[in-house]
Homo-oligomer: A and B are copies of this chain.
Amino acid sequence: MIRFCNDYSEGCHPSILEAMAQANLEGNPGYSTDSHTAHAKELICAAAQCPDADVHIMVGGTQTNTVALSAFLRPWEAAIAADTGHICVHETGAIEASGHKCIPCPNVDGKLTPDAVRKAYAEHNCVHMPLPALVYISQTTELGTLYTFDELKALRQVCDELGLIFYIDGARLGSALATQQITLPQLAQVADAFYIGGTKNGALFGEALVICNDRLKEGFRYNIKQRGALLAKGWMLAVQFEVLMQNDMQLFIELGRHANEQSLRLRDGIAALGYEFTNHSDSNQQFVIFPDAVVAALENDFGFEAQYKPDDTHTVERLVTSWGTRPEDVDAFLSALADVTTKLK
């Protein structure tokens, strides 16, 4: 079966495994106090043009989001997010488990809008409701869409107006940067904190949290340890980011670009066959509205993920590409889809 189910079916880029093998028996101090971690931090700060940021590498998005938000928020404070946001939907209530409500706002193409933030803030106007204190977005979003720099600046402005922390979940930041519609320094300019997702863009495990706002830095390593996210062998995470981030993020961008290219080939090929999408996506996720008969004809040979049924005869399916997606697999899918389309006419 050819899988477009997700972007974490493969392990890591071979050059990362090589670097890990090389560092394997060096003998490094534990708990991210080693020189690889320091070097990865330097590379990341340089690439993001935020020399004073703190960088902490953890394992996995849910962990990173929980460690960050639980450190940033006071007990009665809440996070504002799009109702499609990962923390609202797919983290088993991890943010709530750390004591904080996620306030879901209606999304526009998977994005949170300044107006939605203002409205949520205005509605939470007394001590009988949690105090909104943080804006959470994902870049790219869970629907594959991308915030433009203008959109990010507009959200930053709302945060400044209302005294909110601006946090960006970068599980798919590789795909976002590879679109060339946004840069890492732009992200660092608007965000109080964000993370660079390794797991979905070439690393084995690893997300690098970048804390730009000084106020949010204090005591953070305690929170990492307390929540079980401080690895004894932290240097083995750092090594991966050394590889991805060296030469101004060359490999990180390259892998994101490959994923995007295959995704756009899927998108354009599918569109050419007359199918529609829930929204436009330039990134590595496509959400197609397929007739159920098409799904039935393809699902034995190709893996993709059903989202919901917009009506009785159609299903929205998610197709995801990754740094490891083979072009010939995209060809195979498009060819099979063309066949099915002809047959079902």
Interface residues, chain A, CB within 8 Å of chain B? 3, 5-6, 8-12, 14, 17, 20-21, 23-31, 59-60, 62-67, 70-71, 74-78, 89-94, 96-101, 127-131, 199-200, 204-205, 219, 221-233, 236, 324
Contact = CB atoms under 8 A, between A and B. Distances in A.
A200 B3 CA distance: 36
A225 B62 contact: yes
B27 A6 contact: no
Identical copies in the complex: 4
B96 A225 contact: no
A32 B48 CA distance: 34
Given A27-B3, A29-B9, A92 B63 contact: no
Nearest to A221: B127
A129 B87 CA distance: 10
A228 B227 contact: yes
18 contacts: A6-B30, A8-B232, A11-B26, A11-B233, A12-B24, A17-B21, A17-B24, A60-B230, A63-B227, A66-B227, A71-B74, A89-B128, A90-B129, A93-B226, A97-B100, A99-B99, A227-B227, A228-B229
Contacts of A226: 62, 75-76, 91-94, 97, 130
A236 B20 CA distance: 14
Given A11-B23, A24-B14, A60 B219 contact: no
Contact of A11 (B24, B97, B131): B24
A148 B32 CA distance: 35
Nearest to A58: B228
A94 B8 contact: no
Nearest to A225: B92
Contacts of A99: 93, 96-99
A6 B221 CA distance: 20
A221 B228 CA distance: 16
Contacts of A199: 232-233
Contacts of A75: 70-71, 97, 222-223, 226
